[in-house]
Amino acid sequence: MKNFDVVVLGSGPGGYVAAIRASQLGKKVAIVEMDKLGGVCLNRGCIPTKAVLKSAHSVHEIADMKSLGINVELKGLDGAVAVKRASGIADQMSKGIAFLMKKNKIEVITGFGKIKTKNSLEVKTSAGVETINFTNLIVATGAHYRSFPGLEHDGKRLIGAWEAVKMETLPKSIGIIGAGAIGVEFAYFWNAFGVDVHIFELQKHLLPIEDDDSSVEVERAYKKYGIKLSLGIEGVRAVNNGKDVSIFEKVNGKEVEHKFEMGLIAVGMTGNIDNIGLEAVGIKTDRGFISVNDMYQTNVPNIYAIGDVSGPPLLAHAASHEGVTAAEHLAGAHPHAIDKMNIAGCTYCQPQVASVGYTERELKAKGIEYNVGKLPFTANGKAVASNENTGFVKTLMGKHGEMLGAHIVGTNATELIHEYVLFKTMEGIDEEIFATVHPHPTLGEWLGEAVLASKKRALNF
């Protein structure tokens, strides 16, 4: 029987970071993982999807090269190569996590962990059942995609994101149900590689949690790509016919049938809380996720839960920061609680979408006063010179100069959002951005200019 100060159940971006931070703080740490180190994000999510999206973006770049004076010919597309490359990158990154575990003297136990008591975990390994004791436990088991009546995954023709990212033989046509980040990103990849793509969404826009302006910009680009959109429909269901898939969209009370070779169902996630022993110690859950306080403690004080299993936002970078918070708190430190309004959301289609804070419709619903500063990249010298001028920077500023929200759409949106995240976290005011000298010519200078625009002080637009 082994004894540890901290045991982490799950090795995704929350779990492995929590383990490292606990070890840095002098704790004896073990991590229990039933699959590959790195969790869904590294092996089936964030990393491999970004690899295939790079392939898709390259297809569009080649199409634009003639205008840059470069005459090239696209001889063919091989989705299998793109997917195999993504898988290889995921394997490489997983080995990197293994190195970090060794470097930080964290014991890795491969098996399925289940809570037995508030201080012990039973792990089923290939060698049998092992009991390990802990002073503190951090549950970081992640989440899985949800099914609803009429929207059930079968893993064959009606697939989820995890099957999608491993699919080497691409279908001729696919219907995507759900226009969140997963649906929109796969639509971009498959369309670039010649698949006929149709997105179905109950809400009025793609990326419905984003600002409406951001969604409309992506919709404009997707229509240009030839991706079909059914938005604001009343209902949707999918049926595997054996040889093909039928997706029925309900419009004005009537169902319209569409036929596809396959269907992707991307309609939400729920926490991996089943059969991990939560009931044995009375850990509370709420709507499919573990309930936690702002230090990520459950109602059992020595047991924490972080990442997707503890609820929205279901983001890898949020999970990592939550892991640090939990590790520091159990070690007796006093970390700051995470302000979820300062966590950026990123979608890696093209144009990319990144945001932090409120959307305009949220501010209107709350009755909060704000000023808008919005600048298109068509007026930015570096964007025009780089032939990457789709999108904009939009800021929502409060009456005291504070940033209430920011929204960026464009080729490098997910890289540019960092300045605004730091600015909000430090509770900056607009005068501090006005006093910051942004290099020229850059896309980033538009971050300062968009704040100026909110005060009607824009100098270059």
- Active-site residue numbers? 440
Q: For 56, how many CA atoms within 13 A lie in the half-sphere containing its CB?
A: 27
- Using DSSP's 3-state secondary structure scheme, residue 175 falls into strand
- Please enumerate, as own/partner, the contacts of 118-125 that have beta carbons within 8 Å and a separation of 24 or more: 118/281, 118/300, 118/302, 118/303, 119/302, 121/7, 121/9, 121/32, 121/277, 122/277, 123/32
Q: How many CB atoms lie within 10 A of CB 209?
A: 17
Burial of 149 by CB count in 10 Å (0-12 exposed, 13-18 middle, 19+ buried)?
Answer: exposed
Distance (Å) of CA 26 to CA 6, 103, 302: 10, 14, 17
- Dist. CA 47–CA 161, nearest whole Å: 13
Nearest Cα to Cα of residue 196 among 236, 239, 229, 227: 227
Nearest Cα to Cα of residue 321 among 86, 15, 9, 79: 15
- Dist. CA 89–CA 74, nearest whole Å: 24
Amino acid at 445: E
- Dist. CA 340–CA 39, nearest whole Å: 23
Cβ-contact 72, 65 below 8 angstroms: yes
- Dist. CA 249–CA 179, nearest whole Å: 14
Cβ-contact 315, 343 below 8 angstroms: yes
